[in-house]
Amino acid sequence: MMRQMASQIRATADRIQDREIDAFIHEILTTDRIYVMGAGRSGLVAKAFAMRLMQVGLTAFVVGETITPAMRRNDLLVVFSGSGRTKTIADIAETAKDIGGRVALITSNRQSRIGSIADVMVIIEKQRDEIRDETAEFEVRQMTGEHKSFAPLGTLFETAAMVFADACISQLMEVSMVDEKELKNRHANIE
């Protein structure tokens, strides 16, 4: 299963557009403060990304934490959302736009509520067998043999998003000439 998942992630990586990655990296490098968010497991990916951004030396915050400061005009909000339409996440993204912030969306759904307001978007495609009608009930698709995913409940999106986020950190390290020693110096030391 790991080999099959790795194969799917490689195929997903091959479909990500270089121009989307370049635009995303540019947004990160040209803002003073980066806010990250997501719901559920996408939120865990977002938190891991925020931690790495901080370790690279950038100013990053996780939306919803008690120490997260007010967002300002031109700050960047990075949203991890497979569907791009989770209500609470979309509401916050719209608030960020109202403040004058910029929105970067990591998603598998270009035609979404958050996608319609995003300044930059990186599409991490769904598996080919999950592109079917999303309104169909999971159980019905399973019983009729239409659901053949080996990765339960969106796992492939979150896994691919995590690999993508770590690859972006590697690129940011290279561009900023930050080495691993600097990351270790910023790593938590009271845990």
The domains of the chain are located at: 2-185
Is 122 within 8 Å of 108 (Cβ atoms)?
A: no
Q: Where are the beta strands (DSSP E) in 9-157?
A: 34-38, 60-62, 76-80, 102-107, 120-123
The whole-angstrom separation of Cα 34 and Cα 78 is 7
**pLDDT, tens only, 59-116:** 999 999 999 999 999 999 999 999 899 999 999 999 999 999 999 999 999 999 999 9
Residue 123's H or E segment, with its range, is: strand 120-123
Question: Which of 27, 130, 158, 180 is the catalytic position?
Answer: 158
Cα(132)–Cα(125) distance, integer angstroms: 13
What is the per-residue pLDDT for 135?
38
Q: CB within 8 A of 96, min separation 6: which ones?
A: 35, 71, 75, 77, 102, 103
CA distance 132 to 137: 11
pLDDT digits (tens, 9 = 90+) for 39-67: 999 999 999 999 999 999 999 999 999 99
Residues in the chain: 191
Statement: residue 30 has pLDDT above 70: yes
Phi first, then psi: give them for residue 72, nearest 5 degrees.
Answer: -120, 165
Residues 161-173 have a mean pLDDT of 91
Confidence at residue 92, expressed as pLDDT on a 0 to 100 scale: 97
Whether the Cβ atoms of residue 77 and residue 102 lie closer than 8 Å to each other? yes
Contact 3, 43 (CB under 8 A): no
Distance CA(101)–CA(119), nearest Å, equals 10
- For domain 2-185, give the CATH number: 3.40.50.10490
- Respond yes or no: is residue 191 known to be catalytic: no
CA pseudo-torsion sign 110, 16, 24, 52: positive
